[in-house]
Amino acid sequence: MVSEGGPERPAAVTHPDLAALVSVQLRSGDGPIPAALERGEPVDSADLLREERWPAYRALALDSGVRSSVTIPFRRSGLTVTLSLYSFRPGALEDAPHGPARALGDLAVTCLVRDRSYRAALTELDQLGAALRTRPVVDQACGIVMHVLGCDADAAFGVLRRVSQATQRKLSDVASAVVDTRGRGLERELVSLSD
């Protein structure tokens, strides 16, 4: 299960009966997964037949034939991944938090963090590309405002930004409008916004 602090917690299971075990824990807020998320350390039950915690989870697990379970949390960069293992035999998962399951969980959370970073970088790249494509129009508009107001580039950009904010339009749209009209008819408005 993956958690980024929001209400949505996607989960993947390897057997259809396990989906119900995850769902009952998330609905009730009671079970090994919520306990592992709260504590930040592995939570296990060596024998669910003798377990007294988590009654709803325990009943469903036993009904599915599960006798023992362990949930291991992995936290990195604001992302939490829990890996839950289940066994039909009691006591079968005692060493799970230290063996291959630990390596698998570490790999999963590392890959998810890298994927999230990669997607954020792509988003930023798209935004920078859009800014670069609109920059010539903004520069032209700044030149027109500089000519109309007799001000420097910083003041002209400030005027365009204030128009953008006041009209709730994108800066590039305001700049396009100024360039399209070559500043004609905007002199009074520009002067009033330059103060």
Contact 20, 45 (CB under 8 A): no
**What pTM, to 2 d.p., does this model score?**
0.64
Residue 91's pLDDT is 87
- SS3 per-residue string spanning 45-92: ECCCCCCCCCHHHHHHHHHCCCCEEEEEEEEECCEEEEEEEEECCCCC
| Beta-strand pair 68-76/43-45 | antiparallel
Q: Which residues of 6-34 are buried (b: 16+ CB within 10 A; e: fewer)?
A: eeebebeeeeeebeebbebbbeeebbbbb
pLDDT in tens, 34-73: 999 899 899 999 999 999 999 999 999 999 999 999 999 9
pLDDT in tens, 18-39: 888 998 998 888 999 999 989 9
What DSSP designation does 98 have? G
pLDDT in tens, 132-183: 888 899 999 999 989 888 889 999 999 899 888 988 989 898 899 889 888 7
